[in-house]
Amino acid sequence: MTATMNSRNAARMKATDRTIRRINIPTDGEGKSLKISDYYAENVFDYRKSDMIPQEVKIELKAYTASHSAGKSLSKEHAEVVAKAVGTWAMRRGATHFCHWFQPLTGSTAEKHDSFLSFSKDDLPIVKLGASALLQGEPDASSFPNGGSRSTFEARGYTSWDLSSPLFLREGENGKTLCIPTAFISYTGDALDIKTPHLRSITALDKAATKFMKVIGKTDTEHVYSNCGCEQEYFLIDKAMYILRPDLVMTGRTLFGSLTSRNQQLSDHYFGTVPERVLAFMQELDYKLHRLGIPSKTRHNEVAPGQYELAPIFEDSNLAADHNQLLMAVIKKVAEKHNFVGILHEKPFAGVNGSGKHLNWSMSDNTGHNLLEPGQNPQDNYRFLAMVSCVVEAVKRNSKALRMAIASHGNDHRLGANEAPPSIISVYLGETLDKIYDAILEGKDFVPSNDKFLESGAGQLAHLLKDNTDRNRTSPFAFTGNKFEFRAVGSSQAVGFPSTILNAAMSEVLNEATVLVESYMKDGKSTDEALLELIRHYMGRSNDVVFGGDGYSSEWVVEAKKRGLPNLRTTPDALGVLKDSKLTSFLTEQGIFRGDELETRYNVAMENYCMLREIEFQTLVSMVNQNVLSAGLDYKLRLAQIITAGKSNGLESSVETDIYKRINMIIENLYDSSRELDRALEALDEDIEKRANALANNLLPLSEKVADNCNALEEMVPDDLWQLPKYYDMLFLR
């Protein structure tokens, strides 16, 4: 016990004694600080901007990327030109190896490093990157999650260079590696990754939205792009504290812990002054991200103590998804340099806010026009109103699929809690748009408000322009001025998957909307009249999904049920969507997924859910046996010795006896609940669906019962006997 106690005290001392890590601020030759623009994307190779690639090759590459045509290949000659330029650029900057960087169904990224070493015809060592190495790789497809689609002996898989995502350099302490963003497919052509279906959805949305825009008169539209901005929430805790919590190390969250008396209820952490040590981390993080071409824009304290957020500028959806994957890795790497651990789990600490990843989504065309921009007079902007009505229809029609897209064991702890949207998918439009659509449906004229400025009552303040819509933080899918914010996405999740489902849902509706508008115009309606008819059609049948109230309230759950909105509470409930061909037809019919690819994802997700939950519960039982019970029994022994000594001296020791009884009762309850959880783990069914549902509906409540007993014991046991860092240590010692 003494060694463990000393380790915890040492961890506390380290946390409070850390010196702030100094970083080398980039300067020019005269010692003046460089602007962000001076070093932005210096670790990125973009063929479109490289002066090492001839113009005719750039033209071919751009045409190839924009064609969206499968089966085409780059000319061997031009591929060699690109490979030589990329290799030269990377090696000049110190790279010794390259890798195909891809996103398997683990949700994270994968890479296999190869050196630039080769040999000449004269058997002399040389360094080069060949065209074949740039374009294609061959990792083992059976060793990554494949949901049974690949056998161990069917190992072949391919990585293929994604020309729409720039190459980049990953810096280590002792060298650099060139990373080539790639897709990952099996020998049979099935997507075994997140990127490939995402690219298909981007193509489908481009085609559908471009055709729609041309039909309604915007004939200069040649392409429509899906755009994203992924806000990233995360926690930072001291590394010494992290190491002493087996649950954080093994599962990413604390499986129990008594909440501190002061946590987030004063709202003093949110947007508060960033602690100096954390600020040093953020400054280095921004520097690393900017050099990688990741447009980090905003940083601030979040609601919970120890919680922070980073928000980037909007980008093309594919690039935004790649950048978010890279961002999560960089957060962890930079945090470690500052003796922090970056925690991306959705709910690492019970009782305080968990972390999400708000997926801000919009569409723009090749002329730079945002299709979700309302303009000064949204009531007269029928093109905008029609586009928003298509979004509402897409969400209503595919709400179960959107809920499935953000399902994970970690997110189950957020959704429906008092910090995140519920598992009921609804749309928030804001007061102005609600009134405009109501007027259209009722055949009335909308009279806009004249209060374009906010009146603060303080003449010293600058005039504040009033937005067309307020914000509703309880909505899972909210319109926020010129974009929609999918707020239900989990903080650790790869955003490529929910973005894929969203793009596909929208492209399906736009394809249908194009046919409807064409039919209205054939009947003699003008473009504006046809758009108004489309708005009435979609808003009239989908208005039930629009909700502007408190999404956290129990009343909304009742109201949503009356409206017929689904409430898929758990991940196993939500993943069942992948097995329903009616609910996934919008994905298969547009070629976003093949049927067997959906089956693969169902199997992988269910297996992943079960394994992660079982790891959690096994870890919990182990910690109870190794750490918690021992602390309780030590205190019980101490009390018994005091009581015995008191009796031998003729003292009553009534207080000690009462505490002893309470401690004894908690220990017995804890032991019984832990044994019950352990037995339930052993009795789990082999069938994956029965197993997942038992874990979600039976074992998870059991684990929470165990946690409650652990927390009760933690509050009773003296601090010097408690072996594990407490919430106070982890959330407040920075």
176 burial via Cβ count (<10 Å: 0-12, 13-18, 19+): middle
Read off the tokens for 453: 């400025």
Pair (683, 710) in one structural domain: yes
Pair (420, 554) in one structural domain: yes
Query: Could you report the per-residue pLDDT of 462-493, keeping only the tens digit for each?
Result: 544 455 555 567 889 999 999 999 999 999 99
Query: Could you report the per-residue pLDDT of 364-393, keeping only the tens digit for each?
Result: 999 999 999 999 888 899 999 999 999 999
Query: Could you report the per-residue pLDDT of 325-357, keeping only the tens digit for each?
Result: 999 999 999 999 999 999 999 999 999 999 999
Read off the tokens for 145: 């999650």
Pair (477, 587) in one structural domain: yes
Name the H helices within 447-594: 496-522, 527-542, 554-563, 571-575, 581-588
How many whole angstroms separate alpha carbon 322 and alpha carbon 309?
A: 18
Query: Could you report the per-residue pLDDT of 650-705, keeping only the tens digit for each?
Result: 888 899 999 999 999 999 999 999 999 999 999 999 999 999 999 999 999 999 99
Residue 44 lies in a domain: yes
Residue 8 lies in a domain: yes
Question: Which of 538, 559, 591 finishes a domain?
Answer: 591
Query: Could you report the per-residue pLDDT of 620-652, keeping only the tens digit for each?
Result: 999 999 999 999 999 999 999 999 999 898 888
Helix axes 276-291, 317-337, angle to 10 degrees: 140
504, pLDDT greater than 70: yes
How many whole angstroms separate alpha carbon 531 and alpha carbon 525?
A: 9
Q: For residue 226, which of 491, 472, 406, 484 has the smallest C-alpha distance?
A: 484
Q: Average pLDDT for residues 183-191, to the nearest whole number?
A: 89
CATH number at residue 722: 1.20.120.1560
Pair (414, 515) in one structural domain: yes
267, pLDDT greater than 80: no
Q: In the prediction, which pLDDT does 417 show?
A: 59
CA dihedral 44, 47, 49, 51 (to 10 degrees): 110
Pair (414, 392) in one structural domain: yes
How many whole angstroms separate alpha carbon 617 and alpha carbon 615?
A: 6
The dihedral through the CA atoms of 263, 267, 271, 274 has a sign that is negative
Q: For residue 371, which of 389, 384, 357, 358 has the smallest C-alpha distance?
A: 384
Residue 428 lies in a domain: yes
pTM score:
0.93
* End-to-end Cα separation, the chain, in angstroms: 26
CB 486 within 8 A of CB 359: yes
Residue 311 lies in a domain: yes
- DSSP-assigned letters across all residues of 268-326: -STT-PPPHHHHHHHHHHHHHHHHTT--EEEEEE-SSTTEEEEEEPPEEHHHHHHHHHH
Q: In the prediction, which pLDDT does 447 show?
A: 78
pLDDT bracket for residue 72 (50, 70, 90): low
pLDDT bracket for residue 203 (50, 70, 90): very high
Helix axes 382-397, 527-542, angle to 10 degrees: 30
Of 34-48, 439-453, 537-551, 679-693, least confident by mean pLDDT is: 439-453
Pair (578, 687) in one structural domain: no
Contacts of 93 (CB under 8 A, 6+ apart): 43, 169, 176
Residue 215 lies in a domain: no
Question: Which of 324, 355, 386 finishes a domain?
Answer: 355
Pair (430, 540) in one structural domain: yes
Provide, rounded to the nearest whole percent, the portion of the chain with pLDDT above 90: 73
194, pLDDT greater than 80: yes
9, pLDDT greater than 90: no
Of 47-51, 192-196, 537-541, 628-632, least confident by mean pLDDT is: 47-51
Question: Which of 355, 384, 408 finishes a domain?
Answer: 355
Pair (421, 535) in one structural domain: yes
How many whole angstroms separate alpha carbon 283 and alpha carbon 277?
A: 10
Q: In the prediction, which pLDDT does 463 show?
A: 47
Three-class HEC string of 391-452: HHHHHHHCHHHHHHHCCCCCHHHCCCCCCCCCCCCCEECCHHHHHHHHHHHHCCCCCCCCCC
457, pLDDT greater than 80: no
Of 22-26, 219-223, 707-711, least confident by mean pLDDT is: 22-26
450, pLDDT greater than 80: no
Pair (326, 370) in one structural domain: no
Q: In the prediction, which pLDDT does 464 show?
A: 46
Q: Average pLDDT for residues 114-120, to the nearest whole number?
A: 91
Of 22-36, 513-527, 637-651, least confident by mean pLDDT is: 22-36
Residue 50 lies in a domain: yes
Read off the tokens for 587: 């994905």
Quickly count helices (H) and strands (E) in the chain.
Answer: 24, 21
Which of residues 709 and 733 earns the better pLDDT score? 709
Q: In the prediction, which pLDDT does 213 show?
A: 97
454, pLDDT greater than 60: no
Read off the tokens for 406: 């953000």
| Phi, psi values for residue 390, rounded to 5° | -65, -40
Residue 658 lies in a domain: yes
Residue 23 CB neighbours (<10 A): 16
Q: In the prediction, which pLDDT does 428 show?
A: 95
Residue 600 lies in a domain: no
Complete edge-to-edge strand list for the sheet that includes strand 359-365:
315-316, 224-230, 359-365, 484-486, 477-479, 427-428
Q: How far is residue 358 from each of residues 279, 309, 391, 495, 499, measured CA to CA in Å?
A: 22, 11, 17, 9, 11
Number of domains in the chain: 4
Contacts of 173 (CB under 8 A, 6+ apart): none
What is the domain extent for residue 292?
A: 1-35+234-253+266-355
How many whole angstroms separate alpha carbon 567 and alpha carbon 424?
A: 5
For the chain, what is the mean pLDDT?
90
Q: In the prediction, which pLDDT does 376 show?
A: 86
Q: Average pLDDT for residues 508-522, to the nearest whole number?
A: 98
Query: Could you report the per-residue pLDDT of 286-321, keeping only the tens digit for each?
Result: 999 999 999 999 999 998 999 999 999 999 999 999
Pair (513, 561) in one structural domain: yes
Q: Chain-centre distance of CA 570, in angstroms?
A: 18
Q: Average pLDDT for residues 695-717, to the nearest whole number?
A: 97
Of 126-130, 270-274, 709-713, least confident by mean pLDDT is: 270-274
Q: In the prediction, which pLDDT does 670 show?
A: 98
Q: In the prediction, which pLDDT does 145 show?
A: 67
Strand 427-428 versus strand 477-479 pairing type: parallel
| Rg of the chain (C-alpha set) | 28
Q: In the prediction, which pLDDT does 254 show?
A: 98
How many whole angstroms separate alpha carbon 581 and alpha carbon 595?
A: 8
User: What ranges make up the beta strands (E) of 23-128?
Assistant: 44-45, 95-101, 113-115, 117-119, 125-127
Pair (272, 227) in one structural domain: no
Pair (482, 435) in one structural domain: yes
